Chain A
Amino acid sequence: MFTIFGIPGPLLFGQLLLGLINGAFYAMLSLGLAVIFGLLNIINFAHGALFMMGAFVAWMLLNYAGIGYWWALLLAPLIVGAFGLVLERTLISRLYKLDHLYGLLLTFGLALVIEGLFRNEYGSSGMPYQIPSALQGATNLGFMFLPNYRGWVVVAALVVCLATWLLIEKTKLGAMLRAATENAPLVQAFGVNVPRMVTLTYAGGVALAALAGVLAAPIYSVNPNMGSSFINTVFAVVVIGGMGSIIGSVLTGFGLGVIEGLTKVFYPEASATVVFVVMAIVLLTRPAGLFGKAA
């Protein structure tokens, strides 16, 4: 067995991997938050609850309909995205003319309702979700054993983040989206249906959260609190990265996951708080966030 800085290698790499996995979820969730914030100017407090819904829908598809992981990966984001579409059309869209803080309060209330309903139905203890058979087992990388599923999560998250970036930065749809973020009335004057774009953006951000939920289901047990335990850290990630850029959200998400993992190795007592300490330091030095524009 070899050691690095007096720490056994497998322990170090194990925690690094855990950090990368958490970072993958931070990245996907803060990406969705940033996209929604860019166009709607609201912070979607229900993001954690919708992430949890994604995991639950995957679990329900398996247990009630016998639909497995791979189809759930496609279906759960669609179902939860459709739910988000209804939320936006019926509730959130009424608030665009008001102070943005009302959007925060409304989505906070929605999160409470969704989580409460799931807790009533399924209790607070988690339910297991099997790793799909194709991804069971582990691969020996020479310096550590990599559980296949965890490797898959990191790769899948990277692909999803990259695809979102390409969609927003390199396509015509993305160009319209960015233009509407800058100046919605002007884009509307060019004949683009901005309200529809807003709705679809919200649904898209929500679908991204649900997709993260499905990916998370086999790793964490599926339970009603899985979203709220993540979302507070994700808010800190969003403050650190600033909501200005897609790449920024992704890098910050992965980076903080890794920092958290490393802290677990070197100073475990601080692992839960390190992200918030980083946030305080960033606020002192760059109040707009690492990748943000001054607001």
Chain B
Amino acid sequence: MTSSASTTLAVARSSPATVFGYTPVQAIALAVMVALVAFTPSVLYPVFLMKVLCFAMFACAFNLLIGYVGLLSFGHAAFFGMGSYVTAWTAKNWGLSAELAILLGGVTGAGIGVVFGWLAIRRLGIYFAMITLALAQMVYFVCLEAPFTGGEDGIQQVPRAKLLGFISMQSDMAMYWLVAGLFLFFFLLIHRIVHSPFGQVLKAVRENEPRATSLGYRTNDYKLIAFIISSFIAGIAGGTKALVFGIATLTDVHFSMSGEVVLMVLLGGLGTVFGPVVGALVVTAMENYLAQFGAWVTVTQGAIFVVCVLAFRRGIIGEIGARLKLAL
């Protein structure tokens, strides 16, 4: 890799009107989002909001791959689910504090991500999707049989570990601030990554991989690093969810979870900044509402997939952005 090439590519981002890589409209939208995160818990049930934020983190991690590198992973449940198992297990059995347990969840996700990524980036497109799907299925079967996951029961009654060892997380609002802080941190981090020289190379790989290669970039290294970052954040999201609900189960590692995160990002808008968050909100709210109607959740999810792919490929935020001629 040559540094001169990375500066040439990086030029494109430094258009004058951006603040930390945000256009003015994006900055306003960001401020609105932060305000919503800060004030909605006084209106809505905090546990529901925490669920939304965990999935929003998960969806943002996924969007980093599909939106900016063009890799469709169908195995992200493996990182999310294993992150949730490891956080739950260490918080319960080792009595780790909240931040360490969640961090270990993220590290677990990244560790699996190294193996998955290393195997899967050998193939492109549809094959990449099938390989990640198959590898995640293997992780699912391991979780089904391994003793530490508790099989069908999962790991239950996970204590909400104290933050830094002394701040109690027992009240939902204390937990909420932790989740909100984590979400905002990773939301900004992903944006920072996307707008770094590294992120510009990722986009170059997405647009034209042979050309990026000919410019001297080892594209596979870039793809692998992006994959590992994405799986790390997915693991963090899974671990956080395990602490919020005090339970880690097979649902989190099942392949329908991989499908769900694809749906969130597709519905919100692939490659948009705020799309994954909106998608996570809509999908989670819909599931909460439809939970009483049994399998209609699955039917509705499938129908949204079909409608999005056929008529609505830009997703909610992408569509709004296109109408207003703004990048959101």
Chain A: residues with CB nearer than 8 A to chain B?
A: 37, 42-43, 91, 94-95, 98, 100-102, 104-106, 108-117, 119-120, 228, 232-233, 235-236, 238-239, 269, 272-273, 275-277, 279-280, 283-284, 287, 295
Contact = CB atoms under 8 A, between A and B. Distances in A.
A273 B143 CA distance: 11
B59 to A, nearest CB: 15
Given A94-B310, A269-B145, A232 B72 contact: no
Is the contact region of chain A dominated by helix, strand, or loop, or is it mixed?
A: helix
Interface stretch (B17-25, B42-50, B95-103, B299-307): B299-307
Given A43-B130, A108-B259, A287-B123, A120 B299 contact: yes
Nearest to A37: B126
Contacts of A112: 259, 298-299, 301-302, 305
A109 B304 contact: yes
Given A105-B266, A295-B123, A232 B137 contact: yes
Contact of A120 (B123, B131, B295, B313): B295
28 contacts: A42-B126, A43-B130, A95-B309, A95-B310, A100-B125, A104-B126, A105-B305, A105-B308, A106-B310, A109-B301, A111-B302, A112-B259, A113-B299, A115-B298, A115-B302, A116-B296, A116-B297, A119-B295, A120-B295, A235-B134, A276-B141, A277-B138, A279-B131, A279-B134, A280-B135, A283-B119, A283-B122, A295-B123
B123 A116 contact: no
B131 A116 contact: no
Task: Please classify how large the interface on chain B is, using the bins under 10, 10 to 19, 20 to 34, 35 or more.
Answer: 35 or more
Given A106-B305, A106-B309, A109-B308, 19 more contacts: A101-B125, A102-B313, A106-B310, A112-B301, A112-B302, A113-B303, A116-B295, A116-B301, A119-B295, A120-B295, A232-B133, A232-B137, A233-B134, A236-B137, A275-B134, A279-B135, A283-B120, A284-B119, A295-B127
Contacts of A287: 122-123
Contacts of A295: 123-124, 127
Interface string B100-140: 00000000000000000001101111110111011101100
A120 B294 contact: yes
A239 B126 CA distance: 10
Contacts of B133: 232, 235
Contacts of B297: 116
Contacts, number: 127
A111 B263 CA distance: 14
A175 to B, nearest CB: 26
Nearest to B136: A232
A42 B144 CA distance: 31
B129 A101 contact: yes
B55 interface: no
A109 B72 contact: no
B142 interface: yes
B255 interface: yes
A187 to B, nearest CB: 23
B262 interface: yes
B126 A100 contact: yes
Interface of B: 72, 119-120, 122-127, 129-131, 133-135, 137-138, 141-142, 144-145, 255, 259, 262, 266, 294-306, 308-310, 313
Given A112-B299, A232-B133, A232-B255, A106 B145 contact: no
Contact of B127 (A94, A239, A280): A239
A113 B133 CA distance: 20
Q: Which of A117, A228, A235, A238 has its CB near the most chain B CB atoms (within 10 A)?
A: A235
Contacts of A228: 255
Closest 4 A-B residue pairs measured CB to CB?
A: A109-B305, A112-B302, A116-B298, A113-B302
Contacts of A111: 302
B130 A106 contact: no
A280 B119 contact: yes
A110 B134 CA distance: 20
A43 B301 CA distance: 19
Given A120-B295, A273-B142, A109 B130 contact: no
B306 A239 contact: no
Given A100-B125, A113-B299, A239-B130, A105 B262 contact: yes
Nearest to A268: B145
A125 B144 CA distance: 20
Nearest to A242: B127
A81 to B, nearest CB: 20
B299 A283 contact: no
Contacts of A106: 305-306, 309-310
B129 A119 contact: no
Contacts of B72: 101, 104
Contacts of A104: 72, 126, 129
A122 to B, nearest CB: 10
A101 B119 CA distance: 19
Contacts of A284: 119
A272 B145 contact: yes
A276 B303 CA distance: 30
A109 B309 contact: yes
Nearest to B137: A232
